Structure 1
């Protein structure tokens, strides 16, 4: 039995960590299978996979990224045929192909030829031309699809006749929820964690902080943790905005790090002020797991993660005034945070635990194998029984 798992990233941001957790689930479910993992570059993801005993194949992939579309068009005549040939060769010899994210254009395009044994896991809510391309591409494949939220599924209508499922990303997290530290009249620690780009809304948080009265800002300590993708320009612009707004004493801009546990332990609340739709929102899930109530934009899948007024709060996207008002309310009365933290941890365990997601995903894979009479490898429990 040969399973191929394809992923577009090489860092250790949320989508990359979700991929690792999916591969771990696949390995646990199918311990006798040969599992091939393909990623486009060396980096933190490759190191993490090797540490898990899952050495990846490093191979050029034709990945649709907004910032690199012009380069892809220029090199398409040479690079794309080679990429498609590699995808055909791999998918022909595999018993099951798991393509993690639809932006892996070469394997997604070729999936039409191997649709009975291909599962595409969609994590993207793009916009404009990219959305039109991905909608058409998914319809073309006729493959089985897993969406990571109801919001993501609604983004891709017109897939009649294709099997599809909604499975929330599971988060492998063994840490116990942390005690709430904020007290009336004391400091408030605010964490924002994620890639620095136009989607995540770092500037919305800065605008909200600037709207607060000076006395309120003096009680805040804010960490914005993350890095831009393959360029420092967005980071430099963010540093400039912090200085121009006079927020230097309040805000620390820190680089991305693969394990954010220390930041969650430091925080009192977590802010996810996304300007454009998040397909789900891993940071908000992790915040609830750590007992750190999140304030999130009411957009995309974030509303499926946070129960407004119980495990966190929803605010209109791009609305700095609404975000400022929520922070001010928490400063005035942090006592409810403990109840929010307890409810958030319970929601995490019920909906977003790694075991819940693993059972659902591997169930889809087993059913796919069974439909085409390709027997799934036995689990360790089944081998012991025999």
Structure 2
């Protein structure tokens, strides 16, 4: 990587879990590795220490607020940071902070970049105006072609200002060759799965109405007669599905989902295990991974992480999944919200010879390494910074 001795200020509401937060960390690491300074303005969060360990600097500003007065005050705070720290470029990753960052960039005459980490809904004039902060960057980055198409549909942006840079994953971290059996056992010890889980399915997703948990439960209800456990001859495998993700404020929904498992007769097949601190090990445990979202995801990190771990992924046929998964080659795509279609795809995975499943996983990793590595994402993003700074120079 060539030298990049510039000071970059990223602005993100909080540093907890999520695509925007993880990408903020990865870009901070890349800027520091290239010889620059990486500043992050935010309200704090679990990834603060990771940013600092990477050589970045945290600046606490209440940028998560949507209050118009706070947004206006934040603009002044960010402008002061730009002047004091001699910031060369501001990069905003969310709508409310983008308004403050835009004003600060204009006041200080430095370039302004935004990244769309999701495809925002725009109903009504007020919401469209609020969302438009993300369209006002000197460069606007979309994390998938799907997101870019949604941005273009909004209008008001010239194609020359729009760059498509797919979200990246760390293919060295998510590498099956680096995961030991002991590490898998440590990560899954508290899941209470028993000794013979049969075919192992993992669904890494926070408890949310649109992530597809209800569809997954309905799909297993369709499969329980055949794969609820081994038959008398032992020819049919059992089936275990792990919901890996916390409620994060959706405790009432989790309660309803558990009740649905009981009502559907699949409670013994489905395990709610909360968040997992070692996701590479969790993927390594699984035979296949589910991502049955009922609404289109802008990118779909799970599909690429699982693919990098050589696991076939069964996802909904919409959004970013159509870019990250090649149907029947690196995984399977099923109609969104269709339990019958999801069950059919799961059955295909169960009945595949292990050798065929292995080949599918190998193709998935090759695709992840080739197209969706965090290194490629970081290089492309720094390329956007360089070109924009060169134009201004």
Flag whether TM exceeds 0.5 (same fold).
yes
The answer to whether the 8 A contact 1:62-1:106 is kept is: no
The answer to whether the 8 A contact 1:102-1:121 is kept is: no
Residue 106 in structure 1 maps to residue 108 in structure 2? no
Aligned positions of 1:333-348 closer than 5 A:
333-335=352-354, 336-348=356-368
Distance 1:246 1:58, change over 3 A: farther
Distance 1:9 1:150, change over 3 A: same
The answer to whether the 8 A contact 2:139-2:162 is kept is: yes
SS of the counterpart of 2:106? helix
Distance in 1 between residues matched to 2:290 and 2:62, nearest whole Å: 35
- Which residue is 2:218 aligned to? 207
The answer to whether the 8 A contact 2:95-2:131 is kept is: no
Q: Show structure 1 runs of 5+ residues with no match.
A: 64-71, 374-386
The answer to whether the 8 A contact 1:148-1:166 is kept is: yes
Residue 256 in structure 1 maps to residue 254 in structure 2? no
Distance in 1 between residues matched to 2:335 and 2:200, nearest whole Å: 22
Distance in 2 between residues matched to 1:346 and 1:127, nearest whole Å: 34
Q: Quote the RMSD (CA, aligned, Å).
A: 2.6
Residue 123 in structure 1 maps to residue 122 in structure 2? no
Residue 287 in structure 1 maps to residue 306 in structure 2? yes
Which of 316, 320, 329 lines up with 2:335 in the alignment?
Answer: 316
Task: After superposition, give the CA deviation of every residue in 1:330-382 in whole Å (9 maximum; x if it has no partner).
Answer: 22234321110111111011101122212211111111111111xxxxxxxxx
Residue 165 in structure 1 maps to residue 145 in structure 2? no
- Which residue is 2:128 aligned to? 132
Distance 1:142 1:362, change over 3 A: closer
Distance in 2 between residues matched to 1:231 and 1:308, nearest whole Å: 32
- Which residue is 1:176 aligned to? 175
Which of 2, 8, 12 lines up with 2:13 in the alignment?
Answer: 8
- Which residue is 1:151 aligned to? 146
The answer to whether the 8 A contact 2:168-2:372 is kept is: yes
> In the TM superposition, what is the alpha-carbon distance from 1:153 to its structure 2 partner?
0.6
SS of the counterpart of 2:390? helix
> In the TM superposition, what is the alpha-carbon distance from 1:328 to its structure 2 partner?
1.4
- Which residue is 2:29 aligned to? 24
The answer to whether the 8 A contact 2:62-2:74 is kept is: yes
**Structure 2 length as normaliser, TM-score?**
0.82
Distance in 2 between residues matched to 1:96 and 1:257, nearest whole Å: 35
- Which residue is 1:67 aligned to? none
The count of aligned residue pairs is: 354
The answer to whether the 8 A contact 2:294-2:336 is kept is: yes
Distance 1:334 1:202, change over 3 A: farther
- Which residue is 2:192 aligned to? none
> In the TM superposition, what is the alpha-carbon distance from 1:25 to its structure 2 partner?
1.5
The answer to whether the 8 A contact 2:9-2:91 is kept is: yes
Distance 1:9 1:246, change over 3 A: farther
The answer to whether the 8 A contact 2:242-2:271 is kept is: yes
**Structure 1 length as normaliser, TM-score?**
0.83
Residue 277 in structure 1 maps to residue 319 in structure 2? no
> In the TM superposition, what is the alpha-carbon distance from 1:271 to its structure 2 partner?
0.5
SS of the counterpart of 1:364? helix
Higher relative contact order (Cα pairs below 8 Å, separated by 6+ residues): 1
- Which residue is 2:42 aligned to? 39
Distance in 1 between residues matched to 2:313 and 2:200, nearest whole Å: 12
Residue 97 in structure 1 maps to residue 90 in structure 2? yes
